[in-house]
Amino acid sequence: MMGAMQPEPPLGDRSYVIWVLDDPRTGTAAQAVGIAERLGVPFRRIPLAWNWKAHVAGLVPHGSLMGVSAELGLEPGRGEAPELVISAGRRSAPVALWLKSHYGCRLVHCMSPGLSGLLNRDAFDLLVIPTHDNPHPAANVMPVLGAPHRVSPLVLTQAEMAWRERLGHLPHPRVALMVGGKVRSAEGMPAAMAHQLGRDVALLAIGMGGSVMATTSRRTGAAAAEALAEGLGPAMHVLYHWGEPDENPYMGYLATADAIVVTADSVAMISEACATEAPVYVACQELAGPRHHIMIESFVQAGQVRPFAQTLSTWPRAPLDEAGRVADEIRRRFRLD
């Protein structure tokens, strides 16, 4: 005999269908993916690729797939409908709005949605906007410090375990040096600046009886990377050059560092460094653009970073976990428990 029909369970007691719009720019995608990972439930990543039409898609009311280069299978009736879409960046915003107009899903969007935001501000259920972009207060706006990312406490613990033996020969205190380059420039970091930075950090490590764990990025450039290596030469150190075939030790450096020095050009690297318990110093302010200077000042005011001045010390600082804080807000607002 069939039992009585049970009422539909609350949202948190069943599978909640989450889609993440995966922008091809790594730093942009990491914001949406990082938040989704912190929710602790399965989600589908929708890889996006763009053509020239993406620049005008924001003008279309209620969103558009204009500018999306590939067939994504997003049309209604093709697979399970999303209940929550998490996106990041101006190009993803029209796609998110299109999904809401067709599926009625909730939208969480990171960064400014651009023209789409001006035309459809209330359509976004939660806008996660950096404080350095001076977001206008609203019920659906959540200011964050820097940028959400994928460096969670669990990821750091896993990285520490994975890299413990491989970095075990390096004496403490270990200084992680994360080097970027000029923003939106093909010139790379000035070689003289890279050499001086390497030398300053090396002398600090030598004075403390410690070591340096350094890595460059795609913006550093070959000449600057070589100059950095020369500057680091006197100290016991390891240096990963961007693009080397070996595994990038970036996460291992973050997880095992006693102090972190990061160049001022990268919102992502500064935000990720602050996810650790180590003191964080920002170097080479000349590399920062106007928005980066505003962002760095917001981190300084929050007690998360200090300018690098050839000294290292500790101060009370709680690890920054903006992706976790946004995930908590999503659970609270949408009953995703």
d(CA 310, CA 148): 29
Residue numbers of the chain with a pLDDT score lower than 50? 1-13
d(CA 311, CA 291): 26
pLDDT in tens, 136-171: 899 999 999 999 999 999 999 999 999 999 999 999
Residue pair 110/128 in contact (Cβ under 8 Å)? The answer is yes
Backbone angles phi, psi at 89, to 5 degrees: 90, 155
Within a 10 A sphere around the Cβ of 101, how many other Cβ atoms?
A: 15
pLDDT in tens, 43-65: 999 999 888 887 887 778 888 88
- In the prediction, which pLDDT does 77 show? 61
Residue pair 237/216 in contact (Cβ under 8 Å)? The answer is no
- Please report the domains of the chain, with CATH numbers, ordered by start residue: 11-148+324-334 (3.40.50.2000), 153-307 (3.40.50.2000)
> 58 Cβ partners below 8 Å, 6+ apart?
90, 93, 94, 113, 114, 115, 116, 119
How many Å is the Cα radius of gyration of the chain?
22
